[in-house]
């Protein structure tokens, strides 16, 4: 755990402000602020990035302390300089965001009052040409959010079996022409391994029908999304992280999640739906004690940015925002109540 370095140069702070436009910033603050309007409140920015959302939350909620988490050391450094003016109200942790329970334990924190997750690739990672996230710039095929560990996109392309590559492109990129693209990749990598993005972009373009190339933007975007998700294990992390964040919330605490494609949004929607649903068995005449919904929705479905924001910040165009508030703690043993009720009614012989 680290505190931000107050001695960083001012141009680093200016750089973070210029390069990072927080998506739906004001709405995220509006949703989380009611839970942070009390002394000692704690909010977790689980995907800190360059700190734009965190800066807005700390400014709007002067009683709140921030725990900022990011797996990218460069992002942590920039965000730390940006947030240095908030002093000891900021604690930073180098971790993947499914490690929320361990981060809080290490800091001696029990429950928290707010959690924000801004999923996907950050502005920093997109803009750094040597990171390999952007298909518009020729760069090394890396795509790791933490470049100190794990396999790169080039490793995936050059070593994975064809069947695994097809699955990745279909499942994570929703790419209709996955088999055709992978066949070309396997053929080409035999002659010369893939190292940079331009060659992959050209291969994809050559193996997608012309009619498809004329609509929907760059045909490489789906393959690049799929590779990025695989390299960083994004969906597996998210499936662990959202329940962990929900469990970390105190009663009255709120969580807001920004997703950028249907695969992420589906996971968030499913976890939230489980939390806002009663667990009383269907057909029972009363709500059993301990079975009432543990959360309530704060958004109707997924909210999206308005036209003005997407015009100013095109990266916001695919954003989907969902939020819930904790109403009560999860009961320790609800199953025992169900069995007892059924036995009373003669519906369970044991």
Q: Which residues are annotated as a binding site?
A: 51-53, 70, 97, 118, 125
**Inter-residue contact 66 to 45 (CB < 8 Å):** yes
* DSSP-assigned beta bridge partners for residue 326: 295
**Inter-residue contact 36 to 115 (CB < 8 Å):** no
Known binding positions for S-adenosyl-L-methionine: 51-53, 70, 97, 118, 125
The kind and range of the H/E element at 92 are: strand 90-94
Q: What CA–CA distance (Å, rounded) separates 287 from 318?
A: 39
Instruction: Dihedral sign for Cα 71, 75, 81, 82, please.
Output: negative
User: Could you report how far apart the first and last alpha carbons of the chain are, in Å?
Assistant: 51
Q: What CA–CA distance (Å, rounded) separates 132 from 181?
A: 19
Q: Which of 124, 115, 159, 162 is nearest to 15 (CA)?
A: 124
* Range list of H helices, 150-292: 153-159, 162-173, 178-191, 197-206, 210-213, 221-232, 234-248, 262-276
Q: In the chain, what are the helix, strand and coil shares in percent, each to the nearest 5? A: 50, 15, 35
**185 is written with which tokens?**
């990749």
**Inter-residue contact 148 to 236 (CB < 8 Å):** no
Residue with tokens 């499914």: 98
Sheet architecture: strand order including 42-45: 90-94, 65-70, 42-45, 112-118, 249-259, 320-326, 295-297
Q: What CA–CA distance (Å, rounded) separates 242 from 208?
A: 35
């Amino acid at each position: 755990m680290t505190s931000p370095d107050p001695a960083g140069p001012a141009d680093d702070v200016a750089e973070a402000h210029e390069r990072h436009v927080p998506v739906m910033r004001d709405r995220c603050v509006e949703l989380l602020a009611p839970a942070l309007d009390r002394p000692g409140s704690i909010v977790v920015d689980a995907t800190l990035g360059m700190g734009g959302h965190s800066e807005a939350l700390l400014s709007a909620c002067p009683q709140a302390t921030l725990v900022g988490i990011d797996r990218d050391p460069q992002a942590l450094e920039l965000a730390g300089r940006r947030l240095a003016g908030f002093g000891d109200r900021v604690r930073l942790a180098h971790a993947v965001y499914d490690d929320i329970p361990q981060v809080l334990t290490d800091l001696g924190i029990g429950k928290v009052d707010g959690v924000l997750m801004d999923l996907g690739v950050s502005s920093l990672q997109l803009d750094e040409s040597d990171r390999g996230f952007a298909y518009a710039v020729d760069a090394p095929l890396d795509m790791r959010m933490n470049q100190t560990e794990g396999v790169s996109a080039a490793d995936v392309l050059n070593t994975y079996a064809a069947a695994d590559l097809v699955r990745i492109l279909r499942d994570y990129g929703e790419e209709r022409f996955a088999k055709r693209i992978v066949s070309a990749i396997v053929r080409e990598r035999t002659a010369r391994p893939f190292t940079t993005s331009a060659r992959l972009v050209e291969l994809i373009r050559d193996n997608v029908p012309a009619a498809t190339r004329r609509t929907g933007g760059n045909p490489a975007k789906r393959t690049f999304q799929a590779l990025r998700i695989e390299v960083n294990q994004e969906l597996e992390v998210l499936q662990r992280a959202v329940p962990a964040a929900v469990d970390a919330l105190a009663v009255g605490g709120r969580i807001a999640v920004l997703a950028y494609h249907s695969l992420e949004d589906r996971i968030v929607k499913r976890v939230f739906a489980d939390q806002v649903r009663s667990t009383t068995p269907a057909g029972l005449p009363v709500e059993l004690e301990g079975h009432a919904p543990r959360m309530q929705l704060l958004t109707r479905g997924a909210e999206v940015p308005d036209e003005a924001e997407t015009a100013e910040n095109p990266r916001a165009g695919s954003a989907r925002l969902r939020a819930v508030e904790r109403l009560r703690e999860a009961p320790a043993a609800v199953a025992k109540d169900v069995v007892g009720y059924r036995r009373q009614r003669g519906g369970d012989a044991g």
